[in-house]
Structure 1
Amino acid sequence: MAPTIPIKTPRIIKKLFPRYIWDLYTVSDNKIYLTFDDGPVPHITEFVLDQLDQYNAKATFFCIGDNIHKYPEIFNQILSSGHTVGNHTMNHLKAWKNTNDVYIQNVIDCENIIKEHSKVKSTQRLFRPPYGQISRSKFKTLKNMGYKIVLWDVLSMDWEKTILPEKCLQNVIKSSKKGSIVVFHDSIKASKNLIQTLPLVLEHLTKKGFVFDSIRF
């Protein structure tokens, strides 16, 4: 049975935690912001990039530092294709199971790897905490380091093995609206749902008049 995680982030949660970035709604733009966590991963990330390119869509990839270290060529394919990248820690750490010092150092290690392998330079710092876990003290430290903490408006639930691709598709197309930040995963675990769902999401939402942009500040 699938965990009871809300597909659509409730308004009350957004109001209780307004310091986090949940969506990017503007009156004038008809944009949706696709994000991909846990890459880069061979074949899977490249599949995502190919699908995005077919729709001239831009996205944001929250990368794990260890994967950047293993696959720097794929990481730079993301950047050279005009997408943005964010920090997802070096080793996909859970904030609630690690001390501030350990967690922040893991973020710094990922940041250093991003800088080391980035042929396309960027001054912005985006961070998404693995599992959506963050504490007040860790948030404060990251904010002081210049990070924007990006969470989400819609979860595809692509990583959940008990969910069929059809359900994953409905999660996205029924819950996404102007300004939504949508979470997918370019990971092995999520690949079955991702590969079947992403092309249909891009096709459906494009027909609805949406455009896909990367997160930039």
Structure 2
Amino acid sequence: MNPPIATPLGTTRRWKPAPLISGALALHAGAAAAVVADPSTWPWAGGSVIASHLVLMAGGLWPRSAWLGPNWTHLPATAGQQIALTIDDGPDPDVTPRVLDLLDKYGAKATFFCIGELAQRHPHCVEAIVARGHAVENHSQRHRHTFSLQGPAALRREIAAAQDTLTHITGTRPLFFRAPAGLRNPFLEPVLCQLGLQLASWTRRGFDTRSRNADTIAQRLLRGLAPQDILLLHDGHAARDAHGVPVILAVLPKVLEAAARAQLQCTTLRAALVPEPAQAARSQMTL
């Protein structure tokens, strides 16, 4: 379950090291003190430090882990009978408009994690996402495979550049960040705190950038589908079927129809920050 957000997203918050990071820092200090007191302990001290680094690395290689800091893998409980459909790696001028048409057809809302450079090339796609009532969030400026190997200064430049790019196009600052491929390191959370962003991963993914079988992808996403799930698909880097059609276009109807049968409503991550009773009260006030 996601921890409650004490400071509103979009504002700078104080970084609180996760227990794993606090423990690693304490272990480093203890190892250094042990070696100073008794140099013969260096093999044990060095081995402990290396082990802690391996555990931290494992946390960064596991996209759904909260070992390195808060990470949304589900919507908050206040979202009730809602799920979130998140769509990554766009915008794509060929695929994104067709995805938007499908979402309109089923009356569903989605969160698009956009790459800053692609948004600059295709601003009309980003504008269309917002105009149709969906949310645009931060997926880094360049989506480099080396993202998780960068230090704090480089991470901040990369994420802040995407913040500025997407804010300029949409007029609204992103509140959520998703790391490229979900991979990260211990330096990421302090940067997100500075920029007022919340890390978001997913409950399950379809692997639709690799698989070309729409049925298989849909089964991965729908197996155990439940309220507050966060599902991951891609409009950018989308795999294509034997006829060259982006596979997401065949998967989306299957997912949205299954959600409708289960009486689950698709919402955006930022809309899920507002509890259902507050949403209902606001709707009644507009009647």
TM-score (norm 1): 0.86
Q: Distance in 2 between matches of 1:200 and 1:66?
A: 31
Aligned residue in 2 for 1:193: 247
Provide the identity percentage. 26
- From the superposition, tell whether residues 101 and 123 of structure 1 become closer, same or farther in structure 2 (CA, over 3 Å): closer
* Pair 1:57-2:111 in alignment: no
**Residues 109-118 or 69-78, more deviating:** 109-118
Distance in 2, Cα, partners of 1:129 & 1:27: 25
Q: Deviations over 1:139-186 (max 9, x none)?
A: 11112220011111111111114x522110101111421101110000
Taking the TM superposition and a 5 Å limit, the aligned residue runs for 1:45-84 are: 45-84=96-135
Q: Distance in 1 between matches of 2:250 and 2:193?
A: 36
Summarize deviations over 1:30-78 as a string: whole Å, max 9, x none.
Answer: 1110000010101211111111111211110000001100100110000
Q: 1:88 to 1:123 in 2, by over 3 A?
A: closer
Query: Among 200, 209, 212, which residue is 2:263 paired with?
Result: 209
1:1-217 equivalence runs, <5 A: 14=65, 16=67, 19-26=70-77, 29-93=80-144, 94-118=146-170, 121-161=171-211, 164-191=213-240, 192-216=246-270, 217=273
Distance between the aligned counterparts of 2:261 and 2:123, measured in 1?
A: 34
Kindly state the Cα deviation for residue 123 of structure 1 after the two structures are TM-superposed: 4.6
**Retained in 1: the 8 A contact 2:72–2:201?**
yes
CA deviation string 1:95-117 (max 9, x = no partner): 32333322221111111111221
Aligned length: 204
| C-alpha deviation, 1:17, in angstroms | 5.6
Structure 2: gaps (5+ residues): 1-61, 241-245, 274-287
Is the CA contact 1:33–1:182 (under 8 Å) kept in the aligned structure 2?
yes
For residue 77 of structure 1, give the secondary structure of its aligned residue in structure 2: helix
**Contact 1:90–1:109 (CA under 8 A) maintained in structure 2:** yes
The 8 Å contact of residues 79 and 228 in structure 2, kept in 1 or not, is answered as: no
Question: Does the aligned pair in 1 maintain the 2:113–2:137 contact within 8 Å?
Answer: yes
Q: CA deviation at 1:15?
A: 6.2
State how far apart, in whole Å, the 1-side matches of 2:174 and 2:221 are: 27
TM-aligned CA distance change 1:138 to 1:25, over 3 Å: closer
Q: Given that residues 37 and 184 in structure 1 are in contact (C-alpha distance below 8 angstroms), is that contact kept between their aligned partners in structure 2?
A: yes
Q: RMSD in angstroms over aligned alpha carbons?
A: 2.1
Q: Kindly indicate whether the alpha-carbon contact (under 8 Å) linking 2:69 and 2:189 is maintained by their aligned counterparts in 1.
A: no
The amino acid of 2:258's aligned partner reads H
Query: CA contact under 8 A between 2:99 and 2:235: conserved in structure 1?
Result: yes
Unpaired segments ≥5 residues, structure 1? 1-8
Q: Is the 8 A contact 2:166 2:173 kept in 1?
A: no
Q: Write the letter of the residue equivalent to 2:202.
A: W
Aligned residue for 2:281?
none
